[in-house]
Amino acid sequence: MMSLSKIMSTDLITLELDDDLSKAKAIFDLHNIHHILILCDKQLVGVITDRDIYKHLSPTIGTKNETPRDHSMLQKKLHLIMNRDLTTAKETVSLNDAVLMFHDNHLSCLPIVNDKMEPIGIISWRDILKVIAQQYRNKLAANK
């Protein structure tokens, strides 16, 4: 049985509760990621997605049509829009159990935490799909 420790990403990108949307937007613009973990005293307290950010930002930001109100939205603190209702897992959780957690809780990511609620990894639905696809390819190749 494969555990999450084998497939989770440990290259975590995190921000703090009082960071603002502009910082998150810059990270999403720079990296090909969809989730940022929000910390307070090293503990996981929230998650923010690229969708959360863009729901709160005007499409005119960074264009000649940008208004002062558009720009002020970038100063909004992350704790005002982040998801606090977290589903997390330990790294020993099996891939099968993680699949059920994704399905049952309608997740797009699953933060992996230690006993102190500090993030040590993250797994997205894309990671799970990649593993399942690889397992299926291996099965097809074995049956040839």
Q: Does this model's pTM top 0.85?
A: yes
Give percent of the chain with pLDDT exceeding 90.
Answer: 77
What domains does the chain contain, in order, with CATH numbers? 4-142 (3.10.580.10)
* pLDDT at 114 exceeding the cut of 90: yes
- The per-residue DSSP string of 67-111 comes to -HHHHHHTTSBGGGTSB-----B-TTSBHHHHHHHHHHHT-SEEE
Mean per-residue pLDDT of the chain: 91
Kind plus residue range of the DSSP H or E element containing 131: helix 125-142
Place 137 in a pLDDT band, splitting at 50, 70 and 90.
Answer: very high
How does pLDDT run across 65-95, given as a tens digit for each residue?
A: 777 777 778 888 999 999 999 999 999 999 9
